[in-house]
Amino acid sequence: QVTLKESGPALVKPTQTLTLTCTFSGFSLTSAGMRVNWIRQPPGKALEWLAHINWNDEKFFSTSLKTRLTISKDTSKNQVVLSMTNMDPVDTATYYCARSYSGSGGWFDSWGQGTLVIVSS
């Protein structure tokens, strides 16, 4: 059974850096074709893909946010970490991690429950 769970601060101040961790089980990020993605959703709004990291450590980012994002993995801990710099109130959102796998077309077939991050002073 594939599971993912996001963790991190619920509240961050403007200009601070947000660091979120996705801890997963049921698959390995060393398996060819595997990816972990980050997606966010402001309250009442649509989904926005942020970044993903591949099994071979390739990293890809949303064009609009690439200067603010970093992503890394720790395969020994089954974790992926996303950092976003210079947080602003407009970054208030639920942040999700999700698995994708080239064997299933690269779509997001398993998601975490999400973690709400509020940006406020």
Partner 1 sequence: EIVLTQSPATLSLSPGQRATLSCRASQSVSTYLAWYQQKPGQAPRLLIHDASNRATGIPARFSGSGSGTDFTLTISSLEPEDFAVYYCQQRTIWPPGYSFGQGTKLQIK
Binding region for partner 1 (CB under 8 A): 37, 46-49, 52, 60, 62-63, 96, 98, 104-109, 111-114
Minimum distance from residue 77 beta carbon to partner 1 (Å) = 22
Q: Which of 94, 53, 43, 86 is nearest to 67 (CA)?
A: 86
On whether the CB atoms of residues 82 and 70 are closer than 8 A, the answer is: yes
CA distance from start to end of the chain: 40
Minimum distance from residue 15 beta carbon to partner 1 (Å) = 27
Q: Which is nearer to partner 1, 105 or 121 (CB)?
A: 105
CA of 46: how far to CAs of 9, 54, 81, 93, 114, in Å? 22, 25, 23, 10, 14
Minimum distance from residue 38 beta carbon to partner 1 (Å) = 11
Q: Which is nearer to partner 1, 13 or 109 (CB)?
A: 109
Q: Which is nearer to partner 1, 43 or 76 (CB)?
A: 43
Q: Which is nearer to partner 1, 85 or 111 (CB)?
A: 111
Q: Which of 2, 9, 4 is nearest to 91 (CA)?
A: 9
Position 10, amino acid: A
Minimum distance from residue 48 beta carbon to partner 1 (Å) = 7
